[in-house]
């Protein structure tokens, strides 16, 4: 059986596992030869093929063998092999070659094969233990593996699937640990001539072409792989084994390709002749048009002069505005310093105010004139723990401080509030002064920058809470005429509010720094949000609630309850409701809705109802986990659902369900790991919809590299499309500086292999789209996602074609005489080519950043679905002008080798040519992580800035941006960013590739240092050309890379 019976292919050719229908004939030769070699040992025998893969090899062995079993770890592959090859004497089973207990109960096997599999496992000794368990006495074990010295070190293969590669010594040692007799053979694919006779022995020679007209023959042949025969007894092994392709398929393909190329060249020459004739005709027409345009050009020049005058006036105004901006920044710095100083002063004032209140109580004791009552007065008015009581107790020889079980009775607390508040903080109180005081004290200690007031509503407390609140400076006390319950007290407090926002805060809470400012920022920045809530935590730091979930029957779920802090609890997202213990709402909206619905009196479900009413009014309800509030749960009403106010929690659930049954129809029925992941973040369809998983090598760092800028903007667009977006950083690092913007933008970030696996296991079935960025990341996750989400559309995001970039780098190295480096780069390029093309074949769609790379992949893989998802640039709508600008700017991350080469070429060859004409010209080199050789470029006419926090000031000051890339791939973010800001660009063809930029229209393109220098000099001195390139460059970027372009592509991916 040569290639198996025809039938459905349940698996694909990925470039790693051999399949009979691959067009890579070298792989066919290698793999089929090993099984052909094994035929001499299997006639009439029981055979086990370990890691049997597609099954073609086991089928080949089954023809002479008595019975063959194939063992393969992938169930889908086993299903494919069983359908294609299964018979009475050939079967396949699911199992791992590292499982020493695989195939329990199986009878011993006479021959066991394991070809090109042992390098894929870490615990190779376990494979040998499995072989020894299943091999019959005197049986034969055949095993092959690549020689790491040749396959990896000499050929430059970087196979991501190989876990532990071996050299000859290691391979012999591994097999020798289990078998006393090991015969080692070597394998290599060859093209040449074969002479066969009847005598023993073999002559092996290698033919090499030494020049165009000369060939050399040397003794011996090269090898890439080892093939070993191991047994407890000596086994006859042939000295030479040959597998010949009688049709010379490999050579025929090369010759056919050369013939096709020649024919295409002939056709191209014919087309060129036709184009030349057409060009001559059009040139004559162009000369006529040029004459007609001369008069129009004069009128245009006059209009441009007028325009320049307007622009100069605009520049003057822009300069004035820039000065005012800088003054405002200085004022902001002063205010920040003043705020910091005031913070320290507030702390001191708070401590003094508290101390004064205590001293006033103590001074009242001094009014007692009778010495006989002194001790009683001290013990009454100086609670244990105060300084006076400590002195008194020590004088009597008794221990000072607070005795165990005796809590001091705190005095009033001052809160610094505003008479012109933006926020009114409403705190309903019914007793529990100790908690109320701690709440007020936490507000003072974590005082926000936003002006606020505090309104405490005493709901007819039976203790002296009202009097104690009245004694607190800065706190407004509102006394309820009778006990109104929680809902009534909150509504009463809102009636007295003066701020445009109302913050409802339980008295059994303690706020953390930033608690209010983070909430206010959400409402200020997002006009469509009507209500925002805090993340509640227990005093020990465990999460109590990061947004609430309501199931279809109205029951609630506190998301994150009793969990430790995790990154996925920190995402700003739409939620079913936020707890009334800490929520902020627009006062106008609250009044329009009639406040908390009185039908839920005295308490429970009023906050949930309010959130649903806010949505019904056209606003969103979100949680902002950066606002953290400690909640002493159950202080007010306890936790017993069968008694007291708490019993209304169940009673009010039915009231709530009756009111909102239509909306609850879009909710999931009950809690499960999958449902909790879905319901934690609402969509326009309630709990409906799925997830978009995006994976990259790290959290985007948009201030360091253009790839991160692109990824950040794509993530933002996905969230703006209403998707639940989950991001996997595969290096598992979560730098807060870069993770926080993702949380704020609604992206859920999950790091750590354990947590990522848990998400895929629990919620993978709800994935609708997986966007896997870069080849290593895609290979790492592809099979896992296929396993848990069979209906998910998987997109491979190339970022750029890595193999193409390495090919170009190799070409440059060869041109400059660095032959060893060029050879190594070509080898790496070939390995990456196989990896990337394998992903193109294995995923549902491949995304490139340019049409050039899209067309290349379509040519290499005609059956693949390839689309463009390029960089995203927002064009600056304000008009750029050349006046006031100077200098040359280069931008690029120096983690990227093409940027290091480009900056070096710019500094050493281009800038000196520019300064021959313009000695005042200065090149500014900007980029993250500059190595020492880049820093060393600083000198005459070159300033190396390294990383800068903002690029906009440099774009505003630069006269020209230079992108002198000599190799690379993809679309260059530095070019798009500069043109979007209106700064003309001088670039190489590689730098402008795939951007539809025309030389002389939207960019100036040069190939040599002299051409680049001449273009730079043009833009340094010619305002007319500068303005033309600025405007046309922005127009080109807007049409090709504007946000709507990427948005349309993403909408197509989402279906």
pLDDT of residue 306: 42
**Does residue 47 belong to any structural domain of this protein?**
yes
**CB neighbour burial string for 514-553, b if at least 16 within 10 angstroms, e if fewer:** bbbbbbbbbbeeeeebbbbbbbbbeeeeebbbbbbbbbbe
Query: Within its chain, how far is the Cα of 535 from the centroid?
Result: 24
Do 218 and 136 fall within a single domain? Answer: yes
Do 860 and 893 fall within a single domain? Answer: no
**Model pLDDT for residues 1026-1048, shown as the tens digit of each residue:** 999 999 999 999 999 999 999 99
Do 721 and 667 fall within a single domain? Answer: no
pLDDT of residue 882: 92
Q: Determine the average pLDDT of the residues in 704-721.
A: 93
Do 924 and 859 fall within a single domain? Answer: no
**Model pLDDT for residues 578-636, shown as the tens digit of each residue:** 999 999 999 999 999 999 999 998 778 999 999 999 999 999 999 999 999 999 986 55
3-state secondary structure 941-986: CEEEEECCCCCHHHHHHCCEEEECCCCCCCCCHHHHHHHHCCCCEE
**Does residue 357 belong to any structural domain of this protein?**
no
Residue 38 belongs to domain with CATH number:
3.40.50.150
pLDDT of residue 237: 93
Instruction: Name the 3-class secondary structure at 331.
Output: helix
List Cβ neighbours of 929 (8 Å cut-off, separation of 6 or more): 704, 893, 894, 895, 947
Confidence tier at 173 by pLDDT (50, 70, 90)? very high
Do 707 and 674 fall within a single domain? Answer: no
- Count of CB atoms within 10 A of residue 628's CB? 24
Do 1027 and 997 fall within a single domain? Answer: yes
**Does residue 386 belong to any structural domain of this protein?**
no
Do 919 and 816 fall within a single domain? Answer: no
**Does residue 490 belong to any structural domain of this protein?**
yes
Q: CA–CA separation, 961 vs 954, rounded Å?
A: 10
pLDDT of residue 318: 57
**Does residue 684 belong to any structural domain of this protein?**
no
Do 540 and 591 fall within a single domain? Answer: yes
Largest CA distance in the chain: 133
Do 705 and 637 fall within a single domain? Answer: no
Q: Which of 809, 834, 868 is the last residue of a domain?
A: 868
Cβ 214 vs Cβ 175: under 8 Å: no
Phi then psi dihedrals of residue 866, to 5 deg: -125, 130
Q: Which of 336, 367, 385 is the last residue of a domain?
A: 336
pLDDT top residue among 401 and 77:
77
Instruction: Name the 3-class secondary structure at 1015.
Output: helix
pLDDT of residue 17: 82
926 - beta bridge partners?
891, 946
Instruction: Name the 3-class secondary structure at 148.
Output: helix
- The CA–CA distances, whole Å, from 763 to 612, 676, 769 equal 26, 9, 13
The H-assigned helical ranges of 480-559 are: 485-495, 515-525
**Does residue 971 belong to any structural domain of this protein?**
yes
Instruction: Out of 321-330, 551-560, 577-586, pick the least confident.
Output: 321-330
- Count of CB atoms within 10 A of residue 867's CB? 13
Task: Kindly state the DSSP code that residue 626 receives in the 8-state scheme.
Answer: E
Residue 832 belongs to domain with CATH number:
3.40.50.2000
List Cβ neighbours of 490 (8 Å cut-off, separation of 6 or more): 426, 428, 457, 504, 580, 595, 596, 606
**Does residue 171 belong to any structural domain of this protein?**
yes
Q: Per the structure, how many domains does the chain have?
A: 5
**Model pLDDT for residues 833-883, shown as the tens digit of each residue:** 999 999 999 999 999 998 999 999 999 999 999 999 999 998 988 889 999
Task: Give the best-scoring range by mean pLDDT among 78-92, 244-258, 265-279.
Answer: 78-92
- Give yes or no for residue 3 having a pLDDT over 60: no
Q: Which of 679, 701, 718 is the last residue of a domain?
A: 679
- Is the peptide bond between 602 and the residue preceding it cis, with omega within 30 degrees of 0? yes
pLDDT of residue 385: 58
**CA angle 133-137-138, nearest 5°?**
125
Instruction: Out of 111-125, 239-253, 357-371, 479-493, pick the least confident.
Output: 357-371
> What residues make up the domain containing 643?
423-679
**Model pLDDT for residues 982-1003, shown as the tens digit of each residue:** 999 999 999 998 898 999 999 9
Do 185 and 47 fall within a single domain? Answer: yes
Do 560 and 435 fall within a single domain? Answer: yes
**Does residue 412 belong to any structural domain of this protein?**
no
- Give yes or no for residue 428 having a pLDDT over 50: yes
* Among 180, 219, 158, 196, residue whose Cα is nearest residue 16: 158
Do 214 and 159 fall within a single domain? Answer: yes
pTM across the whole model: 0.63
């Amino acid at each position: 059986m040569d290639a198996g019976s025809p039938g459905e292919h349940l698996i694909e050719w990925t470039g790693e596992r051999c399949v009979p229908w691959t067009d890579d004939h070298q792989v066919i030769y290698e793999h089929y030869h090993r099984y052909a070699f094994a035929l001499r040992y299997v006639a009439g025998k029981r055979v086990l093929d370990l890691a049997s893969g597609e099954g073609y090899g086991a089928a080949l062995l089954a023809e002479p063998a008595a019975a063959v079993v194939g063992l393969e770890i992938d169930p889908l592959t086993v299903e494919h092999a069983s359908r294609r090859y299964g018979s009475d004497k050939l079967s396949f089973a699911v199992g791992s070659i590292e499982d020493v207990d695989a195939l329990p109960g199986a009878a011993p096997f006479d021959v066991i094969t394991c070809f090109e599999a042992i390098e894929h496992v870490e615990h190779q000794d376990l494979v040998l233990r499995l072989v020894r368990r299943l091999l019959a006495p005197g049986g034969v074990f055949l095993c092959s593996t690549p020689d790491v010295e040749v396959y990896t070190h000499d050929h430059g293969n970087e196979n991501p699937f190989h876990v532990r590669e071996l050299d000859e010594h290691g391979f012999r040692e591994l097999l020798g640990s289990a078998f006393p007799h090991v015969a080692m053979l070597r394998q290599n694919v060859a093209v040449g001539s074969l002479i066969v006779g009847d005598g023993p022995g073999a002559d092996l020679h290698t033919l090499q072409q030494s020049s165009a007209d000369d060939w050399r023959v040397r003794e011996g042949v090269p090898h890439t792989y080892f093939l070993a025969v191991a047994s407890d007894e000596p086994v006859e092994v042939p000295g030479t084994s040959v597998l010949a392709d009688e049709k010379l398929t490999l050579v025929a393909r090369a010759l056919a390709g050369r013939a096709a190329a020649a024919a295409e060249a002939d056709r191209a020459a014919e087309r060129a002749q036709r184009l030349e004739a057409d060009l001559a005709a059009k040139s004559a027409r162009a000369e006529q048009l040029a004459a007609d345009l001369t008069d129009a050009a004069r009128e245009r020049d006059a209009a441009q002069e007028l325009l320049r005058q307007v622009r100069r006036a605009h520049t003057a105004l822009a300069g004035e505005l820039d000065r005012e901006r800088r003054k405002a920044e200085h004022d902001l710095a002063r205010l920040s310093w003043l705020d910091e100083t005031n913070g320290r002063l507030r702390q001191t004032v708070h401590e003094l105010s508290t101390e004064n209140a205590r001293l006033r109580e103590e001074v009242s004791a001094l009014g007692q004139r009778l010495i006989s009552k002194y001790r009683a007065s001290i013990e009454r008015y100086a609670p244990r723990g105060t300084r006076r009581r400590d002195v008194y107790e020590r004088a009597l020889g008794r221990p000072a401080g607070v005795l165990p079980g005796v809590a001091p009775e705190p005095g009033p607390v001052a809160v610094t509030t505003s008479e012109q508040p933006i926020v009114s903080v409403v705190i309903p109180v019914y007793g529990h002064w100790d908690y109320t005081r701690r709440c007020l004290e936490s507000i003072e200690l974590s005082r926000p920058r936003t002006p606020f007031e505090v309104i405490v509503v005493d709901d007819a407390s039976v203790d002296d809470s009202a009097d104690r609140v009245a004694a607190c400076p800065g706190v407004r006390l509102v006394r309820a005429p009778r006990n109104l319950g929680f809902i009534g007290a909150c509504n009463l407090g809102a009636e007295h509010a003066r701020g445009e926002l109302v913050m409802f805060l339980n008295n059994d809470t303690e706020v953390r720094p930033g608690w209010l400012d983070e909430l206010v920022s959400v409402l200020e920045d997002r006009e469509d949000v009507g209500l925002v809530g805090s993340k509640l935590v227990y005093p020990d730091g465990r999460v109590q609630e990061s947004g609430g979930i309501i199931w279809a029957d109205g029951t609630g779920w506190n998301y994150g309850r009793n969990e430790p802090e995790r990154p996925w609890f920190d995402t700003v997202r739409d939620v079913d409701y936020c707890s009334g213990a800490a929520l902020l709402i627009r006062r106008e909206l609250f009044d329009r809705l009639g406040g908390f619905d009185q039908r839920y009196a005295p308490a429970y479900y009023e906050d949930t109802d309010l959130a649903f009413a806010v949505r019904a009014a056209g606003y969103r309800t979100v949680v902002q986990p950066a606002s953290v509030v400690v909640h002493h749960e159950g202080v007010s009403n306890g936790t017993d659902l069968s008694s007291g106010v708490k019993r209304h929690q169940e009673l009010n659930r039915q009231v709530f369900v009756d009111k909102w049954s239509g909306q609850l129809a879009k909710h999931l029925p009950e809690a499960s790991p999958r449902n909790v992941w879905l319901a934690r973040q609402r969509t326009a369809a309630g709990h409906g919809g799925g997830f978009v998983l995006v994976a990259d090598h790290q959290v985007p760092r948009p201030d360091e590299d253009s790839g991160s800028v692109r990824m950040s903007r794509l993530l933002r667009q996905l969230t703006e499309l209403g998707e639940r977006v989950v991001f996997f950083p595969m290096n598992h690092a979560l730098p807060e500086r870069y993770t926080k913007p993702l949380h704020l933008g609604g992206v859920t970030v999950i790091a750590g292999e354990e947590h990522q696996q848990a998400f895929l296991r629990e919620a993978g079935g709800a994935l609708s789209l997986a966007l896997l960025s870069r080849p290593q990341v895609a290979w790492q996750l592809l099979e896992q996602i296929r396993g848990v989400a069979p209906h998910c559309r998987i997109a491979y995001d190339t970022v750029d074609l890595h193999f193409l970039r390495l090919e170009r780098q190799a070409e440059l190295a060869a041109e400059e005489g660095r032959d060893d480096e060029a050879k190594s780069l070509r080898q790496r390029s070939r390995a990456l080519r196989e990896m990337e093309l394998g992903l193109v074949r294995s995923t549902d769609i491949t995304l490139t950043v340019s049409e050039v790379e899209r067309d290349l992949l379509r040519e290499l893989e005609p059956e693949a679905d390839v689309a463009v998802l390029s960089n995203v640039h927002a064009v600056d709508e304000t008009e750029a002008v050349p006046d006031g600008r100077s200098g040359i700017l280069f931008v690029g991350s120096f983690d990227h080798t093409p940027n290091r080469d480009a900056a070096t070429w710019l500094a050493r060859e281009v800038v000196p040519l520019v300064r021959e004409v313009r000695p005042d010209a200065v090149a500014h080199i900007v980029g993250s992580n500059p190595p020492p050789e880049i820093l060393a470029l600083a000198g005459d006419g070159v300033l190396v800035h390294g990383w800068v926090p903002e690029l906009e000031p440099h774009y505003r000051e630069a006269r020209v941006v230079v992108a002198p890339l000599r190799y690379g791939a993809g679309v260059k973010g530095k070019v798009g960013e500069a043109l979007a800001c209106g700064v003309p660009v001088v670039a190489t063809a590689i730098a402008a590739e795939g951007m539809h930029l025309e030389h002389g229209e939207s960019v100036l393109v040069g190939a040599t240092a002299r051409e680049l220098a001449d273009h730079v000099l043009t833009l340094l001195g010619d305002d007319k050309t500068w303005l033309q390139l600025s405007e046309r460059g922005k127009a080109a970027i807007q049409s090709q890379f504007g946000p709507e372009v990427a948005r349309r592509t993403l909408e197509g991916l989402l279906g």
